[in-house]
Structure 1
Amino acid sequence: MSDFAPSFPYAQQAQIIRSNQRDLFHVSSLREQTEGVLRSWLGTRWLSRWDKEIDFLVKTTYYAMTTGRATQTLGEEYTDIWLHSAGANAIPSLRARAALILIPTLPRYLASRWGSTLPQESKLASLLKKLPVALEILTEANLAVFYLRGTYYTLAKRILGIRYIASGPDDPNSRPPSYSLLGILLSIRLVYQLITYLRSLKTHGDSELARGKRPSDEIHETFIDDQPVSTFLGPINPEGDVAVPAEEDERTILDFSRIPDALRAGRSCTLCLEERTASCATECGHLFCWNCIVGWGREKAECPLCRQSLSLTKLLPVYNL
C-alpha cells in the first residue's frame, strides 16, 4: 500500500461528508437495535442507567470492527475512500487506528459519566464538566477549517495526520462542489460565541463585585441560604439504588396484605418492570416509581410512555395508588 498510495488522489470533500453521514446512520441504527434487545431482556430502567456505556460500546465496536481491522467502514465503502497516514505514507498503524477510535469517544464518555459523580467542589469534576463544551468548540473549529480547505474532517484525524484517499482518479471534466460558505458561516458563529462569552464574563464579574454577593463557582451552582440547591435534589443517580420491596415502602398508606395479587400485578412500573414504590404521577397522568422517573427525567425531559414534556418540579407524589 505504501508503494502505490502516492498515485491515488486525496478524497474530495463531498465523498468524505457522505461517508461520515453514512457511518452516523449505521451507528444510530446499531444503537437502536441494541437498545431494543437490551430493553426486552433487562427493562427500561436498566437501559436508562447504562445508556452512556451502551453508546460508548456501540461506537467503539462499530469502528473497532472496521477501522480497527484496517478495513473500510460502511460509509467509506459506500464512497470508495480509504484512510491514509500522510506522515507514514501508508495505512495508519494499529496504534494510530486505536487512537482514531478512542479520541472521539472516550473523553466524552468519561465527562458524561463521571463528571456528575465526583465531589462538586473538586477541580477534576469542574474540568470534566467543561470538557464536552471545549470538545464541541474544537470540533466546530476543525469542521470550519475542513469546509474551507478540504482536509481532516474530524479533530482526531487532524491530530493524527490521517487523511482519505480515493481509489479512483479525479474526473477532469467535473468540478467538485465548494463548501467554503459553510466554513465562513461556522467561523462567524464561533467568533460570535466567543464575543458573547467574554461579554458575559465581564458583566457577571462586574455585577458580583458591585453587589458583594457570593460568586458562582465553576459549575454555576445556585445557593439558597448558603446551601447548594444540588443538596436538596437527592442522589445524583437515584435509579442506581437497590430496589425496595413494595411491603417496605414507607411512602404509601396501602396495606399490601389486603390487596389481591391480581391488583398488585397491575402496579408495576414500566421503567423498572417491578412493583411501584414511592409512587408518583407525571403531568400526563402516568404512574412510576419516584427514583425511576427522576432518573429518567434527568436524561430525557419527556414521559417514557406518551413522550409528553416532563418537568421534575411538577411530579406529584401519590400515597394511595
Structure 2
Amino acid sequence: MTDHVCEEASSTASFNYPFAAAPDIIRAHQKDSYFEGILVNHLSSLLRRIYGARFLHTYTSEARTFSELLYLGLTTFIGNRTLGEEYCDIIQIEEDTLKQPGLERRVGYILTSILLPYGLSKILPAFRTRIRAKLEANLRRMGRRKEEGSKTFRIQTYLLEHLSMITSPSPLHALTLTVFYFSGAYYQLSKRLWGLRYIFTKRIAPSEARVGYEVLGVLLLLQISVQTWLHLHHILQRPNPVPANTNQPSGSSAILEGGVEISLDSPSQANEHLFENGHIVQNESKEVGIVTHTPVLKEPRYDLRKEGVMEFIKGENRKCTLCLEGLKDPSAVACGHVFCWECIGDWVREKPECPLCRREVGVQHILPLRA
C-alpha cells in the first residue's frame, strides 16, 4: 500500500503539462472574442444613450479598444485566466521558464496586442499620405529631367502604386497564421514577441490526442505563394512605366461617352484597394472610380437637405440618425431603416449590425434608394 502511494506521488511530481494544441487555442480565442463583443455592445449602448448615435459613430474604434483593454485588464493583467482559457482548460506560461508570465510580459502583451494595432490604424493613413506626396513629387521632378527609364524611377513608381499593400500589416498577420497552423505555438504575433504559450491544465489520455491544422497551413501557404507569384509575374511582364502626369491615377484608362473613365489594366490592379478590409482613403476616390468603372461625383446624387428631392420621404425621416443631418444618397438595410450611404457603410464595416434595431447587416445588404 505504501509503495503504491509513493509510486503515484512520484509520477505526479514528474508529470509535465503538455502544450495546448492549435484547435484549443483557436477555440479559446473565439470564446474571448465573443465576450469582448458583449462588452463592446454594452458599452456602445451606454454611449449611445448618454452622448447619442453620432458620438458613438465617431468613436466606434475607441469604444472597441477600451472594451478589449477592460477585458484583458480584468483577466490577464491581474494574473487571472480569461474566460476562453478557462473554457478550454489552458493556461498561459512563459516558454523559456515554463512559469506563469510576470507583470512585465503581461503588460507588454496587452499593449502590443491592443494599443499597437489601434495606434497603427491612426498613424498609417497620415503616413501613407506623406509618403505618397513625397513619391509623386520625386516622380514629377524626375519626369522633368527625362529620367523615366532609370532604376530609381521604376522603384519609386512601384512603391507609389503599391503603397497601401506595402504598408499594410495584413501580410504579416497571414504569415503569422500560416506558421501557427504548422507549429500550433503562437496564434498572435504579440504572443510570439513576448514568448507566451499555452499548456493544458489536465492530463491528456492517448485517446484524447489533439489533431493539428497542418492542412490549413498548407492551403494558406499555397494561397500566399500563388498571390506572390502572380504579383511578381505582373510586375515583370509589364513595360517600363512612363507616366505623362504623376498626379493622375497610375495605369491606363479610357474616356467613354458621358465623361466616364474606365480602367484598361488587369483586374489584379484592384487588389491594392481591396487589401485592407475595404477601407479606402478619400483622396484615392478617383482611382477607385477608374477601377470600378463608375464615375465618382463630388456631391451626393440625392441630397435630402434640398427640398423637392424624394418628396415621398417626410418630416424627420429625411434626417440620418447617424450624422443627424439630411440624408445624402439615402440607403436602406434589410430591416428597413434608412441612413446616408457613407454613414451606414462606415458603420457596418466597423460593426455589422443596424445601429437602431441591432439586426445583423453586411455591406452587401445596403441598398441605395432611387427616386
Q: TM-score, normalised by structure 1?
A: 0.68
**1:119 to 1:158, Cα distance in 2 relative to 1, 3 A:** closer
CA–CA distance in structure 1, aligned partners of residues 132 and 31 of structure 2 = 39
Quick one: structure 1 residues 52 and 110, their matched pair in 2 at CA, closer, same or farther if it must change by over 3 Å? same
The match for 2:241 is 208
1:29 offset after TM fit, Å? Answer: 2.1
Change in CA separation of 1:119 and 1:24 when aligned onto 2, cut-off 3 Å = closer
Query: Residue type of the partner of 1:12?
Result: A
Match for residue 96 of structure 1? 105
Tell whether 2:116 aligns with 1:83: no
Cα-Cα RMSD: 4.1
The 3 A distance-change label for structure 1 pair 170 and 133 is same
CA offset at residue 13 of structure 1? 2.6
Matched residue SS, 1:84: strand
Give the letter for the 1:80 counterpart.
Answer: D
Q: How many residues align?
A: 274
Do residues 309 (structure 1) and 343 (structure 2) align? no
The residue type equivalent to 1:282 in the other structure is: P
The residue number in structure 2 matching 1:120 is 129
Please point out which of 113, 130, 133 is paired with 2:168.
133
In structure 2, distance between residues paired with 1:27 and 1:128: 32
Measure the CA separation in 1 of the matches of 2:123 and 2:14.
42
Query: Shift of residue 145 of structure 1?
Result: 1.8
Larger RCO, structures 1/2 (Cα 8 Å, 6+ apart): 1
Contact 2:65 2:115 in 1 (8 A): yes
Q: Deviations over 1:209-232 (max 9, x none)?
A: 3x65537499894769xxxxxx98
Give me the whole-angstrom Cα distance separating, in 2, the residues matched to 1:190 and 1:221.
Answer: 26
Equivalent-residue separation in structure 1 for 2:191 and 2:55 (angstroms): 35
User: Which residue of the partner structure matches residue 190 of structure 1?
Assistant: 224
Q: Which of residues 261, 280, 285 is equivalent to 2:328?
A: 280
2:57 to 35, 41, 48: 48
Give the AA of the match of 2:322.
L
Opposite residue 204 of structure 2, the aligned amino acid is: D
TM-score by length of 2: 0.60
- How far off is 1:115 after superposition? 3.4
* Bigger shift: residues 103-112 or 67-76: 103-112
- Offset at 1:287? 6.6
Q: 1:107 to 1:81 in 2, by over 3 A?
A: same
Deviates more, 1:46-55 or 1:101-110: 101-110
Conserved? CA contact 2:109–2:191, under 8 Å: yes
State the partner residue of 1:157: 191
CA pair 132-300 structure 1, distance change in 2 beyond 3 A: farther
Distance 1:80 1:35 in 2: 31
Shift of the 156–36 alpha-carbon distance from structure 1 to 2, 3 Å rule, reads same
- Partners in 2 of 1:315 and 1:69 — Cα distance? 55
Q: Deviations over 1:75-119 (max 9, x none)?
A: 001111111001233211212111211222223212333433568
* Cα distance between partner residues in 2 of 1:271 and 1:221: 24
Structure 1 contact 6–89 (Cα < 8 Å) conserved: no
In the alignment, structure 2 segments of 5+ residues that lack a partner are 1-12, 135-159, 252-271, 273-280, 288-295, 300-304, 309-313
Given that 2:180 and 2:186 are in contact with CA atoms closer than 8 Å, whether structure 1 keeps it comes out as yes
Local SS of the residue matching 1:138: helix
Give the aligned residue type for 1:86: E
Inter-CA distance 96–233: structure 2 relative to 1 (3 Å threshold): farther
* 1:105 maps onto 2:139 in alignment: no
| In structure 2, C-alpha distance between the alignment counterparts of 1:130 and 1:139, rounded to whole Å | 13
Matched, 1:297 2:345: yes
Structure 2 residue identity aligned to 1:103: T
Distance change (3 Å), C-alpha of 1:5 and 1:123: farther
Identity of aligned residues (%): 28
Equivalent in the alignment of 1:257 = none
